[in-house]
Amino acid sequence: MVLKAQELFWEKGYNATSLSDLSTATGAGAGSLYNTFKGGKKELFKKSLQQRKEDLEGFKIKLANSDTPIELIKSFFISVATASKKSHLKGCIVANTIVEMTFIDEELENEAIEILKETEKLYTTTILAAQKKGNIKSKIPAPTLGKHLITLWCGINTLRRIYPDKEILKQQIELQLQLIN
Amino acid sequence: MVLKAQELFWEKGYNATSLSDLSTATGAGAGSLYNTFKGGKKELFKKSLQQRKEDLEGFKIKLANSDTPIELIKSFFISVATASKKSHLKGCIVANTIVEMTFIDEELENEAIEILKETEKLYTTTILAAQKKGNIKSKIPAPTLGKHLITLWCGINTLRRIYPDKEILKQQIELQLQLIN
DNA sequence: CTATTTTTGTATCGAATATTACAAAAATAA
DNA sequence: TTATTTTTGTAATATTCGATACAAAAATAG
DSSP letter for each residue of A147-175? HHHHHHHHHHHHHHHH---HHHHHHHHHH
Residue B38: per-residue pLDDT: 87
Instruction: State mean pLDDT over B146-166.
Output: 98
Q: Does residue B38 lie within any of the structural domains?
A: no
Residue A117 in contact with residue B162, Cβ under 8 Å? yes
pLDDT in tens, B17-69: 999 999 999 999 999 999 999 889 999 999 999 999 999 999 999 999 999 99
Share of chain B above pLDDT 70, in %: 100
pLDDT in tens, B94-103: 999 999 999 9
Residue B36: per-residue pLDDT: 92
Q: Does residue A21 lie within any of the structural domains?
A: no
DSSP conformational letter for B140:
S
pLDDT band at B1 (very low <50, low <70, confident <90, very high): confident
Q: CA of B27 and C1' of C27: distance in angstroms?
A: 19
Read off the CATH number of the domain in which A57 is found. 1.10.357.10
Q: Does residue B2 lie within any of the structural domains?
A: no
Instruction: State mean pLDDT over A155-166.
Output: 98
Which residues neighbour B83 within 8 Å (Cβ) at sequence distance 6 or greater?
A: B160
Residue A38: per-residue pLDDT: 87
Chain A within 8 Å of B180 (Cβ-Cβ)? no
Q: Does residue A32 lie within any of the structural domains?
A: no
DSSP conformational letter for A68:
S
- Domains in chain A, number: 1
Q: Does residue A23 lie within any of the structural domains?
A: no
Q: DSSP 3-state assignment of A54?
A: helix
pLDDT in tens, A91-112: 999 999 999 999 999 999 999 9
Q: Does residue B161 lie within any of the structural domains?
A: yes
Q: Is the pLDDT of residue A148 over 90?
A: yes
Using a 10 angstrom Cβ sphere, with 0-12 exposed, 13-18 middle and 19 or more buried, the burial of residue B148 is: buried
Residues B122-138 as b/e (b if ≥16 CB within 10 A, e otherwise) read bbbbbbbebbeeebbee
Residue A162: per-residue pLDDT: 98
Q: Which of B21, B86, B98, B151 to mutate to test binding with chain A, by most A CBs within 10 Å of its CB?
A: B151
Dihedral of the alpha carbons of B131, B134, B135, B141, in degrees to the nearest 10: 20
In angstroms, the CA B59 to CA A76 distance is 37
Q: Does residue B26 lie within any of the structural domains?
A: no
* Near-strand C residues (CB closer than 7 A): A 27-32, 35-36; B 17-20, 30-31, 34, 40-42
Residue A120 in contact with residue A114, Cβ under 8 Å? no
Residue A74: per-residue pLDDT: 98
pLDDT in tens, A37-63: 988 999 999 999 999 999 999 999 999
Residue A172 in contact with residue A152, Cβ under 8 Å? no
Q: Is the pLDDT of residue A77 over 90?
A: yes
- For the question of an ipTM over 0.90, the answer is yes
pLDDT in tens, B111-135: 999 999 999 999 999 999 999 999 9
Q: Does residue A19 lie within any of the structural domains?
A: no
| Domain span at A154 | 49-177
In angstroms, the CA B132 to CA A88 distance is 34
